[in-house]
Amino acid sequence: MDRVALRGLKARGHHGVFPREREEGQTFIVDLVLSLDTRPAAASDDLTKTVHYGVVAEEVVDIVQGEPVDLIETLAERIARNCLKHDAVREVEVTVHKPDAPITVPFDDVTITITRSRV
């Protein structure tokens, strides 16, 4: 499989278990690796035979900005399911970063990474 990667998609969401997270929101960053066979698109130079990563990026931002969830695990799962709706995508790796997580000690980032594929 070939891979198309989108890194650093940023959006403000209201996800988290604490009331302050739900009320104020925070920035979430998403990285995606979409696995697909790009040979048909490369041979024909035809966008319809691959995944339109601009559309995927907009959909991911909409999900992050959309209905709040408690866990970034749930958010990652929603993003993965959406990516797999695109016909060309056979597998997706999703990393959700929560750099402003409510942790009481110094840290750089909190992430969850999941991999989902068509079964």
Tens of each residue's pLDDT in the chain, 119 residues: 999 999 999 999 999 999 999 999 999 999 999 999 999 999 999 999 999 999 999 999 999 999 999 999 999 999 999 999 999 999 999 999 999 999 999 999 999 999 999 87
Q: 10, 49, 85, 98: which one is catalytic?
A: 98
Residue 98 annotated to the active site: yes
Q: Among 6, 29, 33, 9, which Cα is nearest to 101's? A: 29
pTM: 0.96
How many CB atoms are located within 10 Å of the residue 44 CB? Answer: 11
Q: Among 6, 24, 4, 5, which Cα is nearest to 16's? A: 24
pLDDT, tens digit, for every residue of 77-102?
999 999 999 999 999 999 999 999 99
